[in-house]
């Protein structure tokens, strides 16, 4: 599936009263779902000694899907396509790699 196709379909499942609510709830939802991914990885180490089985992999995949859904809706609220987000990110990383600044701190390194 193409990113922009996903974004269109994800929008159809979103239930927000208005743009302000969409902005706030998408941002908070993204933070919450990202935390759930972090929890899954923490528990993978704590409870499973980092041995990943198919069932746990599926659980992580579902949480990553929730993260993607919120990124999609937040991007949509801001008038940005997921494809543009992906392209912009890769351009930034390519520049950092070329400049030898993949490691380090700061957004504009």
| Confidence tier at 109 by pLDDT (50, 70, 90) | low
Phi-psi region of 80 (alpha: psi -120 to 50; beta: other; left: phi over 0): beta
| Confidence tier at 100 by pLDDT (50, 70, 90) | confident
Q: Which pLDDT value is given to residue 2?
A: 97
| Confidence tier at 102 by pLDDT (50, 70, 90) | confident
Total-model pTM: 0.89
Q: Which two tokens stand for residue 34?
A: 């990202």
CB of 25 within 8 A of CB of 58? no
Domains of the chain from N-terminus onward? 3-81 (1.10.287)
Q: Which pLDDT value is given to residue 101?
A: 85
Mean pLDDT of the 89-93 span: 95
């Amino acid at each position: 599936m193409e990113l922009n196709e996903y974004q269109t379909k994800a929008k159809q499942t979103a239930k927000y009263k208005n743009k302000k609510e969409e902005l706030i709830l998408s941002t908070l939802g993204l933070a919450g779902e990202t935390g759930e991914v972090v929890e899954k990885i923490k528990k993978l180490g704590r409870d499973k000694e980092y041995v990943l089985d198919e069932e746990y992999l599926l659980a992580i995949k579902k949480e990553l899907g929730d993260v993607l859904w919120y990124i999609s809706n937040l991007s949509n609220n801001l008038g940005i396509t997921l494809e543009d987000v992906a392209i912009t990110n890769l351009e930034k990383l390519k520049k950092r790699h070329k400049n030898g600044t993949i490691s380090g701190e700061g957004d504009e390194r």
